[in-house]
Amino acid sequence: MSDQPITGTSATFDRVADIIADTADIPRDKITPESHAIDDLGIDSLAFLDIAFAVDKAFGIKLPLERWTQEVNEGKVPAEEYFVLKNLCARIDGLVAEKAKA
């Protein structure tokens, strides 16, 4: 067991990594916070929707995938902001916090 305290994001990462491993059939040990879901893990758009569904259910949120996709396609936001897992997890934490406030 690690001596590191579990922060919100690392606990979130563990859940998200488990979801990706289960959903996309990717070995769990290949999934790191620095992994890019598309470029490094080879997750296609269909599989990413499967993952989004599992994340939505697990965290009780609604990942704004349409807005993210539009922002990336229009060049307003680099894809890494959403698809590198540590960034994705930070956004999940943000959505969970927003929901808790509402």
Partner 1 sequence: MRLEYFEMIDQVVHLDRAAGRIEALAVVPDASPVFEGHFPGHPLVPGVLLAETMAQASGYLVLAHLGFAQMPFLMAVDKARFRSFVGPGATLNVAASLEHDGSGYAVTKATIRHAGKLLADAELRFRTMPFPDGLDAPMRARARAIGLPMEDAGGVAP
Query: Where does this chain bind partner 1 (CB under 8 A)?
Result: 46, 49-50, 52-53, 56-57, 62-67, 69
Question: How many CA within 13 A on the CB side of residue 82?
Answer: 19
Q: How far is the CB of 58 from partner 1 (least distance, A)?
A: 12
Q: How far is the CB of 49 from partner 1 (least distance, A)?
A: 5
Q: How far is the CB of 74 from partner 1 (least distance, A)?
A: 15
| Cβ neighbours around 99 below 10 Å, total | 12
Q: What is the rounded radius of gyration, in angstroms, for the C-alpha atoms of the chain?
A: 13
Nearer to partner 1, 21 or 52 (CB): 52
